[in-house]
Amino acid sequence: METLERVLSEHAFFAGMDPEYVHLLVGCASNVRFEAGSFIFRQGEEARDFYLIRQGKAALEMAPPNRPPMMIQTVSEGDVLGWSWLIPPHRWRFDARALELTRAFAMDGACLRQKCGEDPRLGYELLRRFSSIIAERLEATCLQLMDVYAIQS
């Protein structure tokens, strides 16, 4: 457990976090690996975890009917994958697929929600970190929607 705690604390998501909280959160973490091509989660499934990517690369995909799945974002070492665990109804909105062998920490959402409920300061700390990620993704999505490289008419 000590080793997991140390490795976890080195992930970018936990940078600057009170070691006491890291110690608390390590109880919700487990090591996972996904082979290239395998799904990490599928759209509509219950969002039980989020993932802190340690190594490898994964893609968030949407699969429109009668069209090939479209990659809308990739995540790699140091990134966070998924926030549906945080927001009801706790269902994944996208597919996530490993593009190469991907190692990550899976953080148990129910476990985290319980700890946050018991300690609102921890809850605020986690929400603060997730809100930054959500804001960055929103900004990126705006830029993608603007299609800035398209020919302007």
CA 8 to chain centre: 14
Q: How far is CA 29 from CA 49, 57, 99, 106, 144, in A?
A: 9, 20, 23, 6, 33
Using the minimum distance from each CB to another protein, give the nearer residue, 86 or 99.
Answer: 99
Using the minimum distance from each CB to another protein, give the nearer residue, 45 or 100.
Answer: 100
Spatial CB neighbours of 43, under 8 Å, sequence gap ≥ 6: 62, 63, 92, 93, 94, 95
Nearest approach in angstroms of CB 74 to another protein is: 5
Nearest approach in angstroms of CB 11 to another protein is: 13
By CB under 8 A, name the binding residues for another protein.
57, 59, 68-74, 76-78, 99-100, 136, 139-140, 143-144, 146-151
Using the minimum distance from each CB to another protein, give the nearer residue, 47 or 75.
Answer: 75
